[in-house]
Amino acid sequence: MLHSFTDETDSQPATAARLSNAAKAPKINLSPADRALREANGEKGISIKGASSRGNVVEVSGLAEGTTSEDVEAIFKRCGPVTNHKLSRTDPVTVRLTFKFEKDAQSAVKKFDGQPADGRILSVKVVGGVNATLGGRLGVAVGDSVDVLMEETSSGSKLRSDDILAQGSRASVLIAPPGTDPSEYVQAPQRGGRGRGWLFLFSVLMAAGLLFTMVFFIIMFSDLECDYINPIDLCNKLNQFVLPEHIAHAFLTLLFLLSGQWIAFILNAPLLAFNINKIRLGNHMYDATEIFRTLPSHKKESFIKLGFYLLSFFYYLYRMIVALIAEGE
């Protein structure tokens, strides 16, 4: 066939050259999964019927001079999300729009083709399609993906990824720049949420209980100084709270360690070591015969613990609020 094209006169360009310079409509890119879907439906070979109206790329012509692709996109996006728009020709003005879904491209043709606009008649037609699979959006090839092997979804697409994007307000597609590893652009799961929220809620309650315990200790020491209570009754009342206070704080510190809350663990570690050392030396209980001599040191210890538990309470409360907000997002 090509030898007949070369018989033309030298004054006219070769037909093959003219054909090679003509604008080509984008072709529908069928992935292996698309072909698998055709085979599952019993379709063999190629399908010609309706091929001219298939695709998600729409060409809009008959536009007034000075019309931009952004102007056209602003009107046509009423039919559905537009992923790309460009000015293909300026004389006459012609714009090509790429819809996210094929059904939206069909809707745009039905709605705007033949309609008057700026004193002219619009011509809207489907000129082809681009790969709408998840692999196509990421810029990588997806081999034998079952992403499309599903029934028609509420979004009008057979792609599971498109259905997720249509139904989930928080869903998004991460696009990897060309030449990069797409796995580096996979959104990492965020730490936090319900687990941390419950942990710090429990910590707030524990800190509040330890805080009131220290307040009780300080009040009792003040009563002893004012002779409102004798040393034996004081020691009997306080000693029953000493080990529970140490155990509660140790348990809370262990929870921080097991859950990987390193900041909270490091903050509580010195006090844990102090309590363990007191138990090891055997001077963690109050002695009625020595209480007046050791009263200043006991009061100082109680005030320091009171301040620590108070700061811990507000820190745990802050962390709980942050965790709950992260869970809500």
Question: Token match 């990421």: residue?
Answer: 138
Tokens read off for 23 = 């604008």
Buried-exposed string 97-106: b where 16+ CB fall within 10 A, e elsewhere: bbbbbbbbbb
Helical ranges in 226-261 per DSSP H:
231-259
Give pTM, 2 decimals.
Answer: 0.45
Its sign, for the CA torsion 112, 116, 119, 123, is positive
Could you tell me if 92 and 62 are in contact, meaning their C-beta atoms sit under 8 angstroms apart?
yes
Short-list 169, 152, 145, CA closest to 41: 152
What is the rounded CA–CA span in Å between residue 214 and residue 218? 6
Question: Could you give the C-alpha distances from 325 to 5, 179, 260, in angstroms and in order?
Answer: 71, 37, 20
Residue 53 DSSP one-character state:
G
**Cα–Cα distance measured from residue 303 to residue 214, given in angstroms and rounded to the nearest whole number:** 8
Hey, CA dihedral for 227, 229, 230, 234, is it positive or negative?
A: negative
Contacts of 70 (CB under 8 A, 6+ apart): 85
Largest CA distance in the chain: 125
The helix/strand count (H/E) of the chain reads as 11, 6
From residue 256, give the alpha-carbon distance in Å to each of 60, 105, 208: 62, 55, 17
C-alpha distance across the termini of the chain, in Å: 64
Place of tokens 């965790």: 323
d(CA 131, CA 31): 8
Burial group, residue 201, by CB count within 10 angstroms (0-12, 13-18, 19+): middle
Query: By the 8 A CB rule, do 210 and 242 touch?
Result: no
149: helix, strand or coil:
coil
User: Mind listing the pLDDT tens digit for each residue in 156-215?
Assistant: 555 666 666 666 655 666 655 555 666 665 655 555 456 888 999 999 999 999 999 999
Flag residues of the chain having pLDDT under 50: 1-23, 25-26, 28, 133-152, 192
pLDDT recorded at residue 246: 94
CA gap 158, 171 in Å, rounded? 17
Nearest to 183 by CA among 140, 213, 214: 140
Query: How far apart are the C-alpha atoms of 83 and 129, rounded to whole Å?
Result: 12
C-alpha torsion angle, residues 195, 197, 198, 202 (rounded to 10): 140
pLDDT of residue 100: 87
